[in-house]
């Protein structure tokens, strides 16, 4: 199987994760305007599952090093499979709640709140589980990224203050989503081997963990997304038959979105062995600012912003770059 053996490669993979996690939602913008997110999300989850299986039978089964996917799956301890599966369930519920919070409270409140909590809590939880790197440098980087996310939130708020749709209900949902997003990664990380070249019995290689994780997302989606379709936070109920009425483009955009997100997750998990789970997760969750860059420079969401708001955006980007640099230095 393919194994990451250098810290430089691990950091490169984490940067790709940031791009993927900050970019997959663009696929929703590219499908038809009448295609509801709940319907998009089914294809997104299918894309995640398909990528995990394909990745396991290619990169996870190539070469003679480590333990190939099928032998690894055959020897896996059920407790470790369940741990990775649980991570998928937590992620799926958190992701759906985050989207609901965005619909209720707006991007300026929900996304920075949810991802900000996930970033800080996730780094702390994963560092405590596997303390690697200088904690002073690591958490200084986390602090700078957290400030960048708050500046991003304030910029959105300033841009939309005349049409603010702040909601305490949306804020509470965003907080709940952030807490679950902060914990899901740990369940996947603890299920995996500590040495991929000499994997211990019962533990999972990253490829098997990713398949179990994706299975957790897929199975739980029949509960979580079905409920949201029946009682959506915003808009009317959606019948199951609506999914079959989508165009090829509608379904393709959702599947591609899932492929993009899981490419990021897969590379992040592979990088964790060299970069440590805390650092790889922290770098990955910097996707908040990648999403902001899409909004600023591609979708022109801030074209009507005043100079003060634009200055905040530039400071936000500078703090984010500085925070990323500290996360990288913390391990090296």
Instruction: Kindly report the number of other CB atoms within 10 A of residue 134's CB atom.
Output: 13
Q: How far apart are the first and last CA of the chain?
A: 25
- Sequence length of the chain is 332
298, containing H or E segment: none
Model confidence over 19-59: pLDDT tens digits?
998 888 788 878 767 888 899 999 999 999 999 999 999 99
Q: Which candidate, 289, 288, 266, places its Cα nearest to that of 192? A: 266
Q: What is the pLDDT along the chain (332 residues), one digit of tens a residue?
A: 999 999 999 999 999 999 998 888 788 878 767 888 899 999 999 999 999 999 999 999 998 899 999 999 999 999 999 999 999 999 999 989 987 887 776 665 667 778 778 888 888 888 998 888 899 999 999 899 888 878 877 777 777 665 455 567 777 888 899 899 989 999 999 999 999 999 999 999 999 999 999 999 999 999 999 999 998 887 899 999 999 999 999 999 999 999 999 999 999 999 998 888 888 888 887 777 787 778 777 777 677 778 888 888 889 888 888 988 898 899 86
Q: What is the DSSP string of 11-68?
A: HHHHHHHHHHHTTTTHHHHHS-TT--HHHHHHHHHHHHHHHHHHHHHTTTT-SSSS--
- The dihedral built from the CA positions of residue 32, 165, 315 and 147, taken in this order, carries a sign that is negative
| 316: CB partners within 8 A, 6+ apart | 148, 149, 151, 152, 155, 289, 292
- The pLDDT, as a whole number, for residue 161 is 63
- The pLDDT, as a whole number, for residue 49 is 98
- The pLDDT, as a whole number, for residue 60 is 96
Beta carbons of 101 and 179 less than 8 angstroms apart:
no
- The pLDDT, as a whole number, for residue 102 is 73
| 237: CB partners within 8 A, 6+ apart | 229, 230, 231
CA distances from 322 to 19, 277, 291 (A): 17, 20, 18
CA pair distance 238, 97, nearest whole angstrom: 17
Assign 218 to helix, strand or coil: helix
- The pLDDT, as a whole number, for residue 193 is 95
CA pair distance 15, 22, nearest whole angstrom: 11
CA pair distance 94, 114, nearest whole angstrom: 9
- The pLDDT, as a whole number, for residue 122 is 87
Model confidence over 80-125: pLDDT tens digits?
999 999 999 999 999 899 878 877 766 656 677 787 788 888 888 8
């Amino acid at each position: 199987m393919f194994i990451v053996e250098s810290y430089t490669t691990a950091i490169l993979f984490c940067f790709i994760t940031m791009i993927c996690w900050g970019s997959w939602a663009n696929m929703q913008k590219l499908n038809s305007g009448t295609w509801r997110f709940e319907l998009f999300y089914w294809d997104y989850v299918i894309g995640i599952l398909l990528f995990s299986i394909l990745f396991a039978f290619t990169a996870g089964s190539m070469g003679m090093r480590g333990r190939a996917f099928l032998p690894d799956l055959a020897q896996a301890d059920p407790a470790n499979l369940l741990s990775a599966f649980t991570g998928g369930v937590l992620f799926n519920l958190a992701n759906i709640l985050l989207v609901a919070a965005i619909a209720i409270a707006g991007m300026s409140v929900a996304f920075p709140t949810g991802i900000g909590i996930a970033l800080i809590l996730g780094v702390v939880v994963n560092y405590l589980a596997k303390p690697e790197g200088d904690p002073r440098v690591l958490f200084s980087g986390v602090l700078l990224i957290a400030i960048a996310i708050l500046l991003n939130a304030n910029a959105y708020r300033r841009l939309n203050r005349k049409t603010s749709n702040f909601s305490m209900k949306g804020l509470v949902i965003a907080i709940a989503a952030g807490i679950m997003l902060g914990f899901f990664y740990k369940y996947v990380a603890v299920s995996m081997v500590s040495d991929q070249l000499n994997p211990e019995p019962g533990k999972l290689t990253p490829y098997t963990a990713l398949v179990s994780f994706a299975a957790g997302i897929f199975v739980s989606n029949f509960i979580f997304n079905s409920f949201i379709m029946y009682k959506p936070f915003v808009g009317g109920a959606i019948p199951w038959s609506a999914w079959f009425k989508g165009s090829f483009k509608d379904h393709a955009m959702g599947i591609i979105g899932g492929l993009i997100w899981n490419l990021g997750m897969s590379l992040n998990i592979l990088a964790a062995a060299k970069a440590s789970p805390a650092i790889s997760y922290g770098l990955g969750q910097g996707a908040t600012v990648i999403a902001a860059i899409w909004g600023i420079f591609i979708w022109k969401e801030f074209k009507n912003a005043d100079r003060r708001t634009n200055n905040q955006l530039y400071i936000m980007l500078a703090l984010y770059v500085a925070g990323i640099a500290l996360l990288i230095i913390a391990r090296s």
